[in-house]
Amino acid sequence: MITRNSLLYPLVLLLSPLAVLTSAHAEIQGSGSSAAAPLYQKWADAYSKNGGTTITYQASGSSAGIKKIKENSVEFGASDAALSQADLKKDKLIQFPSAISGVVPVINLPGIKTAELRLTGETLAGIFSGDITLWNDAAIAALNPGMRLPNKNIEVIVRQDGSGTTYNFSDYLSKINKNWQAKYGRNFIIPWNSHSHLIQVKGSSNIAGTLKKTPYAISYIDFNYVSQEKLDYALLQNRDGKFIAPSAEAFSSALSNSSWKTDANFEEMLTDKAGQKTWPITMGTFIVMQQRAKDAQQTTGAMKFFTWAFMRGDRYVNSVDFVRLPDSLQARIFKEMTTVTDKKGEVLNWNLNPM
């Protein structure tokens, strides 16, 4: 949580808790990341109960969220992958992270408990590209000596829609496996190698639901869904050779081994970072807004919501299994937010009336 001793001290005085709660604004609309939907919905509910404006968030997927904010049809878009500075400049947008999480390989493997199965990035690439099709394949058996792996086809469940989760997952596999990089690369939508045991669904909730009812299945999903839906997961080998379970500590380790903390460089991908405790598919989740507001009052309302969330919402971040941002990053976020203007190019007035 931001403190008076942080880099934000002058701005915090301007945006004090008395000033950040909205008054008579219309409903604020957001759209995008299904992975981050539990966080934004949690914040929105708490904000409304504290007297703030109603925030309506549609979990449409990261690609759809970016499309909607570019079209100026919502007050904010949400994505699990950062846009490049070139893209932001071209489309006159700003972005900032809201929290940290991770992508997790999840399984429905009868007879094998959560965190028992060990996988590597190489084996994941083989499974999701269709090169490894049986659970007792030699590559998987070598990582799990003594485990009774079933002689069953691997049912592979993937995201069909444009997904930041897929973007981070495919970014990791591209770094680990040259064949994956050449064939699929990194993207929001992957041209999956269709076969009889590939199941394509839309949204994180459908990934969780389909996995639960599909024996011998594997998929990838954000950590908060693993926790909330009680999904079984595999341990994953990190860059330092350690088999790691996903956790807040493991995501924080990836953040600490990046330039996010040192340079507030949140465009950097957090996958495959060094550190013995690091989760290898760590990711940030981001808010994207118009640089020049179509409706100054509505955009100000959205920025007040996120100001409240960063200043008062830390406990809600933890409750949905995300990791809060360090103060140094929050400082950069507020700097980005204060560049937003109205249609005339005037910086929006943040010295707003108290609730």
% of the chain with per-residue pLDDT over 90? 75
CA distance 60 to 1: 29
206-215: pLDDT as tens digits: 999 999 999 9
* Residue boundaries of the structural domains of the chain: 26-98+284-337, 102-244
Kindly calculate the radius of gyration of the chain based on its CA atoms and give it in whole angstroms.
21
Estimate to the nearest angstrom the gap between the alpha carbon of 166 and the chain centroid: 10
CB atoms within 10 A of CB 118: 17
What would the CATH number be for the domain defined by 102-244? Answer: 3.40.190.10
Low-confidence ranges of the chain (pLDDT < 70): 1-25, 350-355
CA distance 171 to 150: 30
Q: Rounded to the nearest 5 degrees, what angle is found at the Cα of 328, between the Cα atoms of 255 and 168?
A: 30
Burial (Cβ within 10 Å: 0-12, 13-18, ≥19) of residue 105: buried
Decide if 72 contacts 294 (C-beta within 8 A): yes
The DSSP-derived string for 65-90 is HHHHHHHT-SSEEEESSPPPHHHHHH
Q: How far is CA 73 from CA 64, 117, 123, 298, in A?
A: 11, 44, 41, 12
* pLDDT score for 350: 59
CATH superfamily of 26-98+284-337: Periplasmic binding protein-like II (3.40.190.10)
CA distance 97 to 283: 10
Same topology between domain 26-98+284-337 and domain 102-244: yes
Tokens of 40: 């934004």
DSSP H helices in the chain: 9-14, 17-20, 37-49, 62-71, 85-91, 121-129, 138-143, 164-176, 178-183, 204-212, 223-229, 248-256, 259-263, 296-312, 314-319, 327-337
**Of how many residues is the chain composed?**
355
* pLDDT score for 333: 85
